[in-house]
Amino acid sequence: MNKKKIKVLESKGYKIGSAEDFLGLSKEDSEYIDLKIALSLAMSKRRKKSNLTQAQLAKMLKSSQSRIAKMEKGDPTVSVDLLIKSLLAMGADKKSIAMTIA
């Protein structure tokens, strides 16, 4: 955002900052959320690249299509374990997963 726009917004009482500031997240919480989002995006891309539907991936993981949708959207109820397991099930290796979160 440019400085002029920031000054206009601040003059009208708005506060400018990051989502981390707004939500009062610690650095660790923010990093964890970033990690989960990276894994979710990687999972979605790999599924699409593999020409799998959410339902097909769900069957591979013995899960449900709605759970796969939640995984791809970064739902907070989804564990990092499940995201990694899904990537491994689609053929990802440790190195590619590490590159995703690096």
Choose between 12 and 2: higher pLDDT. Answer: 12
**Burial (CB count <10 Å: 0-12, 13-18, 19+), residue 60:** middle
Res. 77 pLDDT band, cuts 50 70 90: very high
The answer, yes or no, to whether residue 1 has pLDDT greater than 80, is no
Query: How many CB atoms within 10 Å of residue 42?
Result: 21
What is the fold, at CATH topology level, of the domain defined by 17-101? Answer: 434 Repressor (Amino-terminal Domain) (1.10.260)
**What are the pLDDT digits (tens) for 3-38?**
888 888 889 988 888 878 888 899 999 999 999 999
Report the chain's C-alpha Rg in angstroms: 18
Query: How many CB atoms within 10 Å of residue 74?
Result: 17
Domain ranges of the chain: 17-101
Q: What are phi and psi of 99, to 5 degrees?
A: -65, -35
pLDDT, position 49: 96
